[in-house]
Amino acid sequence: MKRFSGLALVLCLLADPGVVVAQGFGQPLTPAVVTLNKARVRTLLKMIPELAKETTQYQGQFLSGMAGPGGGDSVPTISEKDMEKVQKIYAKYGFTMEEFLGEISVLVATYFALDEKAFQKMLPSEDKPEIKSILSDPKVPEDKKAALRAQIKSTRQKQGKLREYLLTQTNDANIAILKPLLSEIRKVFKQVEKIQSASKDIKKTPSKKK
């Protein structure tokens, strides 16, 4: 498995953490485990919805590109204007992209290692709307659809090992910090789901002719 580029990891974590975990399973998502602190975690939780709003239009494209071998290298072209917006969010909260990636990937890994219900929900499934959309898209080649189905099946079969793997992507200090914050993290991920859902609804609504 190849490591994700900066923008790819941001898009994937916001679009569907299950895909990034499945693609990265077997090697670190980041070069080294970062030890978080409570203040930085709360800052990350404020950033996530803002980043979701600015990247939601690219997340569907990214998940489609992830279907199949080599998909991790398929990153949608983000406009210079939108990239500037993303960079401003990092700067606003005192992060570089590299710092954000290191800390958000550890936060996600720790969260799913701690919360069994959230872990089960994030596992990729053909019933998930975003994956169902890819599998029903006539523009996606059949070999990529078959590869995505195989990846989903493999991930679900190895979920016990996957949970163990998540624990290797964090440490005891991070677990101690995040345990009391699980309810806050759940709320943020639900907020992201609503942002994505609202964006999809807007796209489905036909524009009225003037």
User: For residues 27 and 206, what is the distance between their CA atoms, to the nearest angstrom?
Assistant: 43
Which structural domain, as residue segments, surrounds residue 64? 6-202
86, part of any domain: yes
User: For residues 41 and 137, what is the distance between their CA atoms, to the nearest angstrom?
Assistant: 37
Question: Are the CB atoms for 18 and 123 separated by under 8 Å?
Answer: yes
DSSP reduced 3-state for 149: helix
Regarding pTM above 0.95, the answer is: no
CA-based angle 159:164:169, to the nearest 5? 120
How many percent of the chain have pLDDT more than 90?
23
Q: Which residue intervals of 67-128 are DSSP H helices?
A: 80-92, 97-114, 116-122
CA-based angle 147:152:156, to the nearest 5? 150
Going by pLDDT thresholds of 50, 70 and 90, the confidence category of residue 204 is low
Going by pLDDT thresholds of 50, 70 and 90, the confidence category of residue 1 is very low
Amino acid at 60: G
Model pLDDT, residue 192: 83
User: For residues 4 and 16, what is the distance between their CA atoms, to the nearest angstrom?
Assistant: 14
209, part of any domain: no
Model pLDDT, residue 175: 96
- Average pLDDT of the chain, as a whole number: 76
69, part of any domain: yes
1, part of any domain: no
Query: Pick from 51, 145, 148: which is nearest to 95 by CA?
Result: 51
- Out of 2-11, 55-64, 178-187, 195-204, the most confident range is 178-187
CA–chain centroid gap for 186, Å, is 14
Structure letter (DSSP) for residue 70: T
DSSP reduced 3-state for 120: helix
Domain tally, the chain:
1
210, part of any domain: no
- Which residue's structure tokens are 């991070």? 174
pLDDT tens column, 119-155: 888 888 888 877 888 889 898 889 988 988 988 888 8
Query: Pick from 121, 136, 140: which is nearest to 61 by CA?
Result: 140
DSSP reduced 3-state for 174: helix
Model pLDDT, residue 60: 58
pLDDT tens column, 27-44: 444 456 889 999 999 999
Model pLDDT, residue 72: 46
